[in-house]
Amino acid sequence: MPRVAVLILNRNLPDLTNNLYSHIEEFEKKFVDIFILEAGSDKKNLSNNFSWHISDPLTTKNGLRYSRGMNLALLKLFESGEFENYDAFFLLNNDVQLPKYSVLERMLKILDDVPKIGILSPCSNLWGEKNYLIDEKTKFFWYIQNNAFLLRKEFIQSVMNRSPTMMNFLFDGNNFRGYLAESELIAKAYINGWGAAITAEVFIERDFSFLMKQSSLIKTDPFSKNSRLMLEEGFDWLKTKYGFKSKWDMHFYVKNFYDLFFQSNLNLLKYKL
C-alpha cells in the first residue's frame, strides 16, 4: 500500500499540473497516491487527473490559496476515511520543480530514522540554510520556507482541529494569503513535541514565474498586488491573533519553543543548530 498521499493544488494551470503528476507517477509511483484539488479552476482548465473540483462562486472568484486548499484536501481524505491509509502527506503547489529521482524514498527514510520529525522539508539551492547542512544533512529549524512539506500522519493528528473544517483543519484559513502560516505550523509542532527539519538529501525549487507573469491566466491577483496584500492582511492577522507587531515577534515565539523542545529531547541535540 502506498505510504504517502501527495496533495497538489491547481488553479487554471492544467499543463503544469499534468506535468507534475506525470513526474510523480514516474519517480514515486510505488510510494504514493496523488490527489489534486482544483481551487476554482475553469472547466476548460481542469487537470487530467483531478480528485476534487471546488467551483462555488467565492472559490471561483478568489481561489482557496494554500492554507484553505490544503485544509480542504486533508478534510476530504479525513471524511472519506482514506486519511488513515497513509503514513505521511506531501503538500505541493503545482509550480514545484522536482528532481529526477525519488525524493520520497530519501525523505521517508529520514522519517523512519528520526521518529520525532513531524515536518520534513527538502532544501533549496536558494536558501542560506544549506550552509548548515554540510556535515549533518538533516537538522531541525525554527523557520522553514514552504516549498514542499512532508507531514507525518501522527503529527497532523496531534495538532489538527478536533472539529475540522476547511478553515481550521491544520492551517488557519482566516490567514487567507498565508503570511507566516508555516511559522504557526512549526510552532504547533514544537509545542506538541515534534520537530521541523530541513534535509539536504533532497533539493526542490519553485518556479515563481507563473505567479509573476501569468496571474491573468491563473485568475489571481498580480504578483505585486498579492505581495502587498499578503503583508497588509498578514500583519492584521498577526496582531489580532497573537498581539505581535512584526514577523520577528513570531520568529522569537517559535524559537522559544524550539529551544524548549531540545531541553526535553537531549538525545536529538545533534540536530540542533
Residue 125 corresponds to which cell in the numbers above?
Answer: 539551492
Residue 53 corresponds to which cell in the numbers above?
Answer: 473540483
| Distance set, CA 173 to CA 58, 167, 215 (Å) | 14, 4, 22
d(CA 211, CA 222): 7
Query: Which domain CATH number covers 162?
Result: 3.90.550.10
Can you give the pLDDT at residue 197? 98
Can you give the pLDDT at residue 262? 98
Can you give the pLDDT at residue 210? 65
Global pTM?
0.95
Q: How many domains in the chain?
A: 1
Owning domain of residue 149: 4-271
pLDDT tens for each residue of the chain, 273 residues long? 689 999 999 999 999 999 999 999 999 999 999 999 999 999 999 999 999 999 999 999 999 999 999 999 999 999 999 999 999 999 999 999 999 999 999 999 999 999 999 999 999 999 999 999 999 999 999 999 998 999 999 999 999 999 999 999 999 999 999 999 999 999 999 999 999 999 999 999 998 776 666 766 667 778 788 889 999 999 999 999 999 999 999 999 999 999 999 999 999 999 999
3-state secondary structure of 39: strand
Beta strands in the chain (DSSP E): 4-10, 32-39, 52-54, 88-93, 96-97, 117-123, 138-140, 148-152, 195-203, 205-206
Residue 13 corresponds to which cell in the numbers above?
Answer: 494551470
